[in-house]
Structure formats: C-alpha cells, structure tokens
Amino acid sequence: MELRGARCLVTGASSGIGEATARRLTKAGAEVLALGRNRPALALVGEPIVCDLLDRGQIDAAAAEAGPVDVLVNNAGFGCFGPLHELDPDVLERLVRVNLLAPVLLTRALLPGMLARGRGHVVNVGSIVGLVGGRDEAGYASTKGGLAAFTESLRQELDATPVRVSLVTPGAIATAFFERRGQPYSRRFPRPIEADRVAAAIGATIAKDRAEVYVPRWLALPPRLHSLLPGLYRALAARFG
C-alpha cells in the first residue's frame, strides 16, 4: 500500500515502538492517528485519540472518532514476568484485554470500512515468545500467541479481499517494556535493538504488503527450529534460557 496520503491509526503511540512507528509513517507522508492514554505525548506524533484499551466502550468510541482508516497498527501492549501461579489474576485479565482482545475489537470495528472502500492493511505487533514461549512468561506469551493465531486466521479469512493482514515479530527492544513488566532484561544475547528498527520494518511491511516479518530477520530461525525439532529446541532453551 502506498503510505503517502494513507490514514494510519497506531495504538500505543505515546512511547516505544508505537511512537517510533508514528514518526516513521508521518515521514513517509501518511496521516497518523495516535492512540493511547497520554494526550500531550500523542499530540507530538500525530492526531491524538485518547483511549484506554481496557474499556470496550472507549474502543468503540475511538474507532468512531478515527473515521475512515486505511492502516491499523495494533502495537499497544504490556508485559508481566514470573511463574504463572504467582501472577495476580487481575494483571492476567488486563494482559488479555490490552494485548489480545483490544486488537481484535479494534480490527473488527475498522474492518467493515476497509472492505467497503476496497483498501486496508492491519499490522499486528507480536513477540517472539508468542511463537516459541518463554520461561516465566506464560501470561504474556499466551496473549501474543493468541495474537499470532488471530493474525493468521484473519489473513486467510480476507485472502480474497483487498485488505492485507501482517504480523511483525520483534525480539528484545530497547524500551521501558522490561522495567514496566517488573523484570529488567538481563541476557547478554541477543542485545536489545532500537524501537526505530521495528518501526522501519512496520513501514516496509505496509508498503510492500508483507505477511510476516521478524525483527531482526534472523529471529525467524527459532520458530522454525521449534516447529521442526521441538525436543532439540526445548533442550537448548533449558540450557541457554
């Protein structure tokens, strides 16, 4: 899809990947609608749409406020870390609502307009743990795994239409994500990459109608190994974390 002149809604646009994506799309000539909770921060990167994605009513109102949307980037999300039995049930419910249910509901609200206009692209920002899992990340990984399944199913559903659906899967990103989840990133490898690299991949995904993108690209290898040789993958994961 041609980005110049496209009307793009980016969720979680006040910081991190969302902010970087909003700036990238604006630079490419798109009209950006920046959705989140922090109006002053949103106003710096696009036309602000204030919305708490925990609230279904606010999601419906945000979709109505946005009007016609050519590109939806479902980026907003948060993480949590720890053994499942120790996680607060309220936190788990919020994880599901923000990371999985909100993208589904927002897509559902905007999809009819895309189909009617014969033009549209939905980009869902996933996570590598949504494809291969991660120790002490069962809560977060389950929401991103659900998002991956949603993306693939919707892609098949819309295959005969002009609306495209993509999954962008990043690894560790140098944002406040890890501190906010309650556990800083401590691995020596892979090193976290800048949010703008993911933003650039999102822009290219839209412009080139790519179905699936990994950031960095070598990150496509772990899911393939997990699929082909699950026993070996689990043994390596147990040893190296």
DSSP 143-179: HHHHHHHHHHHHHHHTTTSSEEEEEEEE--BSSTHHH
Coil, helix or strand at residue 124: strand
Angle (nearest 5°) at CA 145 between 137 and 79:
40
Contact 15, 41 (CB under 8 A): yes
Burial bucket for residue 165 (CB in 10 Å: 0-12, 13-18, 19+): buried
* Pair type for strands 47-50 and 7-11: unpaired
* Pair type for strands 71-74 and 120-125: parallel
Write out the catalytic residue numbers: 140
Structure tokens at 204: 């290219």
Chain length of the chain: 241
Coil, helix or strand at residue 216: coil
